[in-house]
Amino acid sequence: QDMSLHDKICQMLILSPEQLTGSARVTAADETMKQALQKLPVGGILYNTANFINKQQVREMLSETQRCSRIPLILTCDEEGGRVNRLMQTVGTTYIGPMFGFKDMGTETAYQNAHTIAADMHALGFNTDLAPVADVWSNPDNTVIGDRAYSDSFSQAAELIPAAVRGFHDGGVATALKHFPGHGDTFADSHDGAVTVTKSLEELRKNELLPFQAGIDAGSDMVMIGHLTLTEIDPSQPAPFSARIVTELLRRELGFGGVVITDGLQMKALTNDYSSGEIAVRAVSAGVDLLLCPDEPMEAVASLQEAVTSGAVSIQRIDESVRRILSMKINRGMIKLCS
């Protein structure tokens, strides 16, 4: 109730520590970070390998960063296992190989792998992992997902993903199913440019949506929208801008009531055609809650504020997202409520 419009919009952003502070490399939280969080009281921070030196340094950095923020922060990184890890390769947390290598070892292994990753992260001060990958490696020529997937079978992935969600939760971190509605049968990489999915909605329901539905039913906190253009559903715009995909399909049909987060907004699939301000307004209008690392954060904030002021985006739409974000923080113990 006491949040300004600026506070609310900032809560809808996750930024890198370098974006926040303007520093080339952040490995500690100091007065610069405190002042940055006063200026942009974001919802969370995404860390990468350059931010990590050793375990003690990470613990101190994250602890001090939380102390700099009035509202507790989502502290996260991409820690999937295999080739997508940030902590295993830098500070020596437990190494776990690509999830695809465990596909035939059952749900207990999926649970234990996730629990180990989460417990290691939680011990350092992280409260969220941008995992698990709910995409299915159904196209063997797909390299951007590849062995990051839990399986090349839709039904098998739908069994393993819920176990992973439970493992991450029990280990102490929130989860983000990615990359909705499915990046496993694509050829291109959204880091480099536009990516299209030509399947019909009925085909998606029978295949790609199965592990996402299973992860949602298991209580995943977030779903990450991929920078995918679905030519048979909404050919005019990428999924993060599509109310048909974000609101009608994900929220209404799949029944997801948690936080919808974008994939990284510095990827060329979006930045080749849209400014940070356009991306922010279009995504929020479609029903997205959290904007992950927009290329120009101040522009994104200013454009959303102007959109609310002009009536292009309602304050109720902003409030919906902020409530979801704060509710997730409460549910995962990031915000402690007084009894």
Which position among 30, 191, 217, 295 bears the catalytic label?
191
The answer for residues whose C-beta is within 8 angstroms of residue 82's C-beta and 6 or more apart is: 96, 97, 98, 99, 100, 101, 147, 148
Work out the burial of residue 90: count CB atoms within 10 Å of its CB; fewer than 13 is exposed, 13-18 middle, 19 or more buried: middle
Work out the burial of residue 60: count CB atoms within 10 Å of its CB; fewer than 13 is exposed, 13-18 middle, 19 or more buried: middle
Which position among 263, 273, 289, 319 bears the catalytic label?
263
| The pTM of the whole model exceeds 0.95 | yes
179 part of the active site: no
pLDDT tens-place values along the chain, 339 residues long:
899 999 999 999 999 999 999 999 999 999 999 999 999 999 999 999 999 999 999 999 999 999 999 999 999 999 999 999 999 999 999 999 999 999 999 999 999 999 999 999 999 999 999 999 999 999 999 989 999 999 999 999 999 999 999 999 999 999 999 999 999 988 665 566 678 999 999 999 999 999 999 999 999 999 999 999 999 999 999 999 999 999 999 999 999 999 999 999 998 879 999 999 999 999 999 999 999 999 999 999 999 999 999 999 999 999 999 999 999 999 999 999 876
How many residues appear in the chain?
A: 339
Cα distance between residue 193 and residue 227, in whole Å: 9
295 part of the active site: no
Cα distance between residue 5 and residue 122, in whole Å: 31
